[in-house]
Structure 1
């Protein structure tokens, strides 16, 4: 009965955090062990007793300060120095700027919102189709869950009980591979459609753009460098990055005003609290899963189909793609990790880092696919292009992601080489 109640609440669009908590409450009542209600609150709170969770609001705050402090335009200008003169230069600038943003914001939806507003009008002015401009921006948002810092990696690391810093390292090569595949897609489309040729900056303009960007570049350096060289934990790196973002936006660029801090703190608190509540509810929901022996039952079913880890991951990819079409990516990570990760590790000896990278990248595809497609509708709203028009230009990028997912599933070293 419990699985039916769970599915019904999801179908009627009950918030995922409430679905998790209410399902656990129903299971306790149905099992007759009502004495467990006495420890319900403690179990929820126990799900939050993890130092790594502090990184979530801190990375969100960094993104808020970066947007408010005028760093986005400077990052875009710096990207123009490296790729602006190629045919289809603005599309490459869009992609490269998205890579910079992914290393700062860590949230696909926030990245799509910021970049669609900044890049789509510029590309349209230079003769690019509005649907393609919005599609390139939306596809660039897919870099956020794999290029560190990634909000989904933080949550997965907490749930999987693996070091978040190592999860970040696991995402570096897949992120670069994904960006390279997107560049290949842009080159192919540009060759077929005859994109306009861009203009290279003069030496003086290039130096000026790079110097203006240097303070903003301290943020990804602080995040990735601190973790890579073992100087700081991901949470400490997030705190340092938010401080740098504030000082750069206020003292160097002069666009971030101290009086706006209170509103940024409020937005960060509201957005982070929703994620934290889901994680707390997921801890109680995990108790239900354990008592129902769901991973063991599912493992018994899947192992009868295949004993090959690669085939298992392909099956999981199909399942995740369907789930991601219906449920928000972060919510899906919270739901699926306790069920599928034990099977991947215990029955197929798959690295938790490989599994995490594959799962997070796959689930974020749901941002760009109907019927939910939050990222698709954000790109549509910010760019003025219809979702259908964006989808028509987006499918080559989605095929590239599918190809990268197959490679990540087949070759675990892509995810584990830097760990």
Structure 2
């Protein structure tokens, strides 16, 4: 019976998703279909109540707040300003524009929450700058794509918010836990770019000019205040992740209009509309995932899966590596939010039985799925790069191969060394 139920829950959902049904509707339809079978007894009258309870969450407010913050930062042109500041900071380092590409993504990660937004918004700017500096097209696209996945690891992060809601763990702690792995990922990519620059003989940039650095810093300082507010407020315990989103949004609007001239009313309305539509879609996904997760738990499928997996191995590290293998495969075919909403309720009982910290698992899960965004044949960032650059998809895929090595090494380190994710939250007293 368990095998049949697991097959129904997974295969019906995947079939709907693969034929193009949006993930929110796929989750809801799968739940309704299974409710009609005799194996899952559930009162239809409670469907609406379950859906509403799933969307009735204070932490869900963090999604529109951080989304709008990133969208307004784009509208005010602050991505270009941050990029210019990063370029001044790199100075004469060989292969500097590639380093700027990565540093800008690290800085901009505090003002967005999704890798796709980084690749689509900042990606075009980064790619054009590398082309102007004479870099090979495939390499330029590969650096842009690999740097984009840093954003959802360093706070704020929409995927981490979604995981925190579904796993019922502190989003603030998740944000802080992602800082060290994100910075290590950025440092590793910088080292790869340094090697690439020396092996290909790329020229140095202009020497540092303190007056130019100071002028660039003065221009970028108001924009850079956003990640400082978010991370500083969370580390200091001054506000929760949701409150951090509200502070970041109001601060961004203030500096956007006071220091950077604001935007036309029509552009402001269009940006707001985009944020509202995206928020509505994500909220619907959470509501549908709540119903799906409730049915999964009611059918006791996670317990059956946990017993089966623990029967194979009880070692937490080996178990986590097995889950990573599954997530890498899922990441090839499924968008990140969809994968999080579907798999989080399934894996949580497994990691609980194995004694794996849910904060550690959350970072591992998001990092693994981010790598999936860059992996053929369906990695969404690959398709975004094809659209925002003049590089063909096949060439982008070939150029990405060297970048998989450091990313997979970082993933392995995060899996086997939980301290990389848990040290900073413990140091500041959050756990």
Short-chain TM bin: over 0.9
In structure 2, distance between residues paired with 1:304 and 1:332: 25
In structure 1, distance between residues paired with 2:41 and 2:112: 43
Which TM-score applies when normalising by structure 1?
A: 0.97
Write out per-residue CA displacement over residues 254-298 of structure 1, whole angstroms, 9 at most, x where no aligned residue. 142344322111100111111111110000001221122221222
Q: State the match for 2:217 in structure 1.
A: 210
Alpha carbons 1:131, 1:390 under 8 Å: kept = yes
- Alignment of 1:225 with 2:251, yes or no, is no
TM-fit CA distance, 1:338: 0.5
Alpha carbons 2:101, 2:144 under 8 Å: kept = yes
- Alignment of 1:80 with 2:87, yes or no, is yes
In structure 2, distance between residues paired with 1:281 and 1:217: 36
Structure 1 residue runs without a partner (length 5+): none
Tell me, what secondary structure is at the counterpart of 1:371?
coil
Tell me, what secondary structure is at the counterpart of 2:149?
helix
Structure 2 residue runs without a partner (length 5+): 426-431
Moved over 3 A (4+): 32-35
- Alignment of 1:156 with 2:147, yes or no, is no
Q: Closer, same or farther in 2 for the Cα pair 1:293/1:34, shift >3 Å? A: closer
Alpha carbons 1:250, 1:258 under 8 Å: kept = no
- Which residue of 262, 274, 286 corresponds with 2:269? 262
TM-fit CA distance, 1:9: 1.6
RMSD: 1.5
Q: State the match for 1:410 in structure 2.
A: 416
Q: State the match for 2:379 in structure 1.
A: 373
In structure 1, distance between residues paired with 2:129 and 2:294: 51
In structure 2, distance between residues paired with 1:6 and 1:107: 24
- Alignment of 1:171 with 2:178, yes or no, is yes
Write out per-residue CA displacement over residues 14-60 of structure 1, whole angstroms, 9 at most, x where no aligned residue. 21111111111111111277761111011011111211110101111
- Which residue of 222, 226, 242 corresponds with 1:235? 242
Q: Closer, same or farther in 2 for the Cα pair 1:296/1:72, shift >3 Å? A: same
Alpha carbons 1:127, 1:196 under 8 Å: kept = no
- Which residue of 352, 357, 364 corresponds with 1:351? 357
Alpha carbons 2:376, 2:397 under 8 Å: kept = no
Tell me, what secondary structure is at the counterpart of 1:113?
helix
In structure 1, distance between residues paired with 2:227 and 2:42: 49
Tell me, what secondary structure is at the counterpart of 1:393?
helix
Q: State the match for 2:334 in structure 1.
A: 327
In structure 2, distance between residues paired with 1:276 and 1:352: 22
5 Å-filtered alignment, 1:7-406, equals 7-31=14-38, 36-345=43-352, 347-406=353-412
